[in-house]
Amino acid sequence: MNWIILANARKRKARLVMTVGGIAIGVATLFALLSLSAGIERALDREISGMGANILLLPEGCPYELTLALMQGSDAFEHIPTALLPDIRAVENVDVSVPVVVGKARVNGQLTSIYGTTQVLLELRQWGIDRIEGAVIGSDVAEKLGVGEGDTLTIRLYAEVQLPITRVLPPTRGRDDTFVFLALDTAQQILGLDEKLSAVLIRTSSVGATTQAQYTLGRMSDIQAVPPSDVFARLMELFASIKQTLILITGIAIVAGVLTTMNTMTMAVYERKKEIGILRALGSTRRNVFRLFVHESLLLSLLGGLVGLAAGFVATQFLPRTSGFGLEATPQFSFLYVVICLTVAVIVGVTSSLYPAMAAARTQPIKTLREL
């Protein structure tokens, strides 16, 4: 049967290209959407778990916006007073507490995120260094500014400071690559946030003690204690609603693809009336003709699915890496997505071929031959 389909396709190349192209566009969109979504989810997970904290202490306000601002290195309107730090450290089971201030400043003339903290941060990050001295910079910053270890950075906003670069961090593929890390008080001075903190990262003495510590910290005035896992779950819910909308739009595009393919196949039935009439005269049953058209559509849709997967893969390589919550998200590919996309392609192919195949099977050989 395949050679009959191939012979027909060879004669009608334009139709083949249009049918395969229509299915491929839908599949490519779906594949790109699935892999990019997975990439964003993974990036979000990596960033939040990469904080190394069990609890995030944030100023009052929307915890999700504040967490995103912290991850993106943007200054927020609300802050935690530095004076609260002794009380925070006094809470039972608080093992490590890292004060953090973030914001954007001019670094060698370019707007860059700065991250002020203390040496305690090194207990949460696995960077392989003992001290944060001068400026420790992420690999993206080094590339963007064209600087390296031993060079001097001029950082300016509310104050101007010159710091030597003591270390360029190896690439982490996370937000750390985009920060200039420096001493807390220096960052506060530059950002004009004296005695103010963007957040405090807390690690408890044990995972079991987190709930109790969160409860105690949450009762302190002007701050809120949020487990990163809760933030992650909430952000994922927000992202899921966006993803659902995108999938719905893709679904509509796929339905449009079904109708277009159905229209193309129906036209093909009329165009191939002679061929069908001959097939029937030669002894082809209605079932044979029906199966031929469904089989043809199935092969075309599978081909469209494969082309779509390739096109989707290529598209993800050209799309901007920074997307979704301002995180650098590398698309994540999975065999499951390949299966989903090919299944969708097959469903599109079979669904769109049913009506044309039935029309073809109803062809009366004698009527067709008389009309020729």
Between 243 and 280, CB nearer to another protein: 280
Q: Helix 286-318 and helix 2-11: axis angle, to 10°?
A: 60
**134 neighbors 166 (Cβ within 8 angstroms):** yes
Within the chain, where are the H helices?
Answer: 2-11, 13-50, 63-72, 85-90, 139-145, 184-191, 210-218, 228-271, 273-281, 286-318, 335-361, 365-371
Nearest residue (CB) to another protein, 242 versus 366: 366
Q: Which of 86, 150, 283, 320 binds another protein (CB under 8 A)?
A: 283
Residues 353-372 that bind another protein (CB under 8 A): 365-366, 369, 372
* Cα angle value 259/246/46 (rounded, 5°): 145
Is the Cβ of residue 46 or residue 291 nearer to another protein in the bound state? 291
What are the C-alpha distances in Å from 340 to residues 182, 329, 337? 47, 22, 5
When asked if residue 249 is in the footprint of another protein (CB under 8 A), the reply is no
In the complex, the smallest distance separating the C-beta of residue 265 from another protein, rounded to whole angstroms, is 17
Asked whether position 67 contacts another protein by CB under 8 A, the answer is: no
Cβ closer to another protein: 235 or 268?
268
Q: Applying CB under 8 A, does 319 fall inside the site for another protein?
A: no
Which residue's CB is nearer to another protein, number 131 or number 274? Answer: 274
Does the footprint of another protein cover residue 285 (CB under 8 A)?
A: yes
Span interacting with another protein, options 26-34, 98-106, 284-292, 293-301, rule CB under 8 A: 284-292
- Judged by CB under 8 A, does residue 267 bind another protein? no
Q: How far is the CB of 361 from another protein (least distance, A)?
A: 9
- Residue nearer to another protein on the CB measure, 7 or 159: 7
Contacts (Cβ under 8 Å, ≥6 apart) of 327: 40, 43, 44, 47, 71, 72, 175
If one asks whether residue 10 binds another protein (CB under 8 A), the answer comes out as yes
- Residue 320 C-beta: closest distance to another protein, Å: 45
Distance set, CA 128 to CA 27, 121, 161, 169, 170 (Å): 44, 12, 26, 9, 10
Of 246, 253, 278, 299, the one binding another protein by CB under 8 A: 278
In 60-170, the DSSP E strands lie at 80-81, 94-107, 110-117, 135-137, 152-156, 160-168
Rounded Cα–Cα distance for residues 324 and 332 (Å) = 14
What is the Cβ-side half-sphere exposure of residue 306, based on CA atoms within 13 angstroms?
A: 5
Nearer to another protein, 10 or 128 (CB): 10
One residue of 47, 140, 275, 328 binding another protein per CB under 8 A: 275
Is 3 a binding residue for another protein by CB under 8 A? The answer is yes
Distances (CA, A) of 342 to 1, 26, 253, 293, 306: 22, 11, 16, 19, 7
Rounded to a whole number of angstroms, the minimum distance from the CB of residue 19 to another protein is 16
Q: Does 284 bind another protein (CB under 8 A)?
A: yes
* Least distance to another protein, CB of residue 277, Å: 8
Q: Which is nearer to another protein, 64 or 290 (CB)?
A: 290
Count CA within 13 A, CB hemisphere, residue 158.
Answer: 11
Count residues contacting another protein (CB under 8 A)? 26
- Using CB under 8 A, list all residues that contact another protein: 1, 3-4, 7-8, 10-12, 274-275, 277-288, 365-366, 369, 372
